[in-house]
Every structure is written in C-alpha cells, then in structure tokens.
Amino acid sequence: MQKITKHIKSLLFLYLLLLFACEQNLVKSNDSFDDQLIQSIIDAEKVDVNLSDLPILSSDIIERDYNEYVDLYAKKASNLGYQVSMDEKNYKTGHHNEVYFNLEGRELKSKRGYRKKEGFRCFEVILPATFVMPDASSIIIQNEDDYMMLKDWYENNLETDDKPSLQYPVDIIYKDGDIETVNNDEEMMHNKMNCRDWDDEKKDDCFTIVYPISFIMPDGSNISMLDEQDWDSIKFWYEQNSNVDNRPILQYPVTIINKDNSSEIINDDDEMLLLKQNCRD
C-alpha cells in the first residue's frame, strides 16, 4: 500500500511538472512578440547593406513569403537587426512594405502589425505619370486602371526583369493632404525609406483625426470626408487639375484623439504642424 501511495505521488508530481511546463510555454507563446526590438531598429542609425549580405534564413523568408514585391532595400542596425523595405509589383509607387529580422535572420513579429504581407500606403503619385519601359517605349498612366498596362507589358516581355523608369518630376500626395514634388530617383528613394513617418500605423500610434473633415481646394471648391476612404477624392481632384500645385486647406477646428485616448481640438495649421513634429520625435 505504501508503495502504491508513493507511486501515485510520483505520478501526481510528474503531472504537475508537465502542467507547469505547458503553462510556461503558453505564456512564452503569448509573449513572443518583438515590438521592442523592432522599434529599436526603426529608431537606430542604419547603414545600407546588399540583399546578399542578409542571413540565409532572412533571404529564404523573403523569397518564400514576399515574392509579390520588387525593389528591395536593406539596412542594418548595428547589434540589433535588419530592416528590409520593398515595393509592390503593381508598380504603384508609394505602395510599400517593411520586414524586420534579428541578427540571426529570424523574422520579427509585432502585435502592432508591422508584419503585413499586403503592405501599406505611404503616398500616392498624382496622375498622369509616365513610365519608360526597358525597350524605351513609354506608358502613360492616366488613371488607376492604367497600371494594368505595366503588368501586361511584362507578361508580353517575359525575357526581361528590368524595372520601368518613372519620368520626373512627379507630385506625390500624403494622406494628410501634403503635396511634394519629387525630382529624381534619389529623392523618391528617400521618401520610400522614410515612409514609416507617414504610414497609417505610425500616425495611429500618435493620433487619429475625427471625421467628418473638409478641405477647400485651390479652385475654391469644398471636399468633405466622412472617413479615410474619402482621401482618394483629394488625389482624384489633383489628377483632374494637374496644372495646380497649391495644397488643399484643411478647415479648422478639427478634433484629434491622442494615443492615450484623450481628445484635443486643433485650431490652425501651426498647431497641426507642432502636433506632427511631436509625433515624429
């Protein structure tokens, strides 16, 4: 009887040990996000590296999971990890994605959604825009549907992987209505590599604007926005008025929600500029 009791106690101890191990694994699994390291890589000084310099594990992940992207640019943050930026294959400049890896090549995961295979929109090119193809022909993009012509060209020219060249200067528009003229590839690359300052996640981390809002356009017309989807109407206006460079005027006051859920009323451009600058710091 004593031996049986001892045996039962041993089994009970083993069961509790296994239960504790499982609980530990669950806690580790739920806490297996890398937000702190990702943010450290974003904030750190980084140097350009060749894609061939990435760890083999990172290269395999990019080839397997991100083969719908082109124009990869890699940077290394010393003693931290890598940031890989990429553009979508639809050639819509400003449609972007970023992936982060540790020094061993493991892809970093975030609760905040940095790992999104569908990417995010940094900015939009104001149409019309002209692309020079590898055979020196030109394709003029007058509207969103015309981007299919770029895809069709490559399907009919499978022997080349060279990317098209965007003719400069072009105007780009951010989601806050800011318009910027880009004069060359170097400036465009700078905008892409720094677009984390402008993407939805970064801005959501700082503040969100309360809709509806309205803009007065350079011709005196008014565009009202009920939600974020209506930003396309600003872009469309500039595509229809390609000779106009003046930016739209946001109608104040507007209400914003800070990341601590407090609300604030912004009364003019100076207050909005200060708010954005504080977000980027």
* Amino acid identity, position 113: G
Chain centroid to Cα 87, Å, comes to 10
Instruction: Tell if the pTM clears 0.75, that is, is over it.
Output: no
- Give the C-alpha separation, 57 to 104, whole Å: 8
Six token digits for residue 164: 């098209």
**Phi first, then psi: what are they for 272, rounded to 5°?**
-65, -40
Write the CB contacts of 40 (distance below 8 Å, at least 6 apart in sequence): 77, 80
Question: How many Cα atoms are found within 13 Å in the side-chain-facing hemisphere of 258?
Answer: 11
Predicted pLDDT of residue 139: 94
What integer pLDDT is reported at residue 202 of this predicted model?
44
Q: What is the pLDDT of residue 240?
A: 85
pLDDT at 4: 45
Would you give per-residue pLDDT tens digits along the chain (281 residues)?
444 444 444 444 444 444 444 433 333 333 467 888 988 998 889 998 988 899 999 999 888 888 777 667 789 999 999 998 877 665 666 667 788 999 999 999 877 554 455 556 678 888 899 999 999 999 999 887 888 898 889 889 988 878 888 999 999 887 767 788 999 988 887 777 666 543 444 444 578 888 999 999 999 999 998 887 787 788 788 888 877 777 788 999 999 988 778 889 999 988 888 887 777 55
Output b/e per residue, 246-280; b: 16+ Cβ within 10 A. ebbebeeebebeeeeeeeeebeeeeebeeebeeee
CA dist 276 and 256 (Å) reads 12
Backbone angles phi, psi at 186, to 5 degrees: -65, -45
**In this structure, which long-range contacts are made by residues 136-140, counting pairs with CB atoms below 8 Å and at least 24 apart in sequence?**
138/167, 139/164
What does the pLDDT read at residue 132? 93
pLDDT for the residue 21? 41
Residues 6+ apart with CB under 8 A from 173: 123, 124, 126, 179, 180, 234, 235, 238
